[in-house]
Amino acid sequence: MDWAAVLGIAAVLVIMVRYEWPQLKPQMKREKTAFAVLTAVGGALALLLVFYPEMPGPTQGLDALYKPLVKWMDHFTEKRSG
């Protein structure tokens, strides 16, 4: 199953590159770099999510950032609805 997902991701990446790359003109260096970097980041993140689905995500980051306030809001919600 995992390997099927990897194949799917590879197919999406190949289609994206085959479609977009010929449309980029040779002098568009910045755009080429941006496209390559973003595609690489996307591919890497996709692979990570396939093999480590439990990886902490951005929501956990926000939770950690606003921890005291989130606790206070939870407490508050319980008081109101309970």
Partner 1 sequence: MIEKGKISASQMGKMLYLAILPTAALTTPAITFKFAKQDLWISPIWALCGLIVIFVSLRLHRMYPGLNIVQACERIVGRFPGKIIGFIFPLFYLYFNGIIVREYSEFVVGAFLIRTPLIVVSGSIVLVCAIAARGGVEIVGRFSELILPAFITFFLLIVVPIIPDLQVTNMLPIMPEGIRPSIEGAIVLQTWFSEFLTASFLLPFVADQKKSQKSVYISLLAVILTLIVSNLVTLLLLGELTGNYTYPFLIVARYINLADFITHLESLYMAIWVLGAFVKICVFFYVTVLGAAQWMNLSDYRPIVFPLGLLLILFSMWVAPNFQELTHAIATSVTLAIITLFVIIPGLLFCIAWVKRRLWIKS
> 41 to each of 30, 35, 47, 82, how far by Cα in Å?
16, 10, 10, 44
Taking CB under 8 A as the criterion, the residue among 7, 14, 20, 51 binding partner 1 is 20
73 contributes a contact to partner 1 by CB under 8 A: yes
41 contributes a contact to partner 1 by CB under 8 A: yes
> 58 to each of 64, 80, 82, how far by Cα in Å?
10, 28, 30
24 contributes a contact to partner 1 by CB under 8 A: yes
Rg (CA), the chain: 20
6 contributes a contact to partner 1 by CB under 8 A: no
Cα 68 versus chain centre, distance: 27
Provide the binding-site residues for partner 1, judged by CB under 8 A: 12-13, 16, 19-20, 23-24, 28, 30-32, 34-35, 38-39, 41-43, 45-46, 49, 53-55, 57-59, 62-63, 65-66, 69-70, 73-74, 77, 80-81
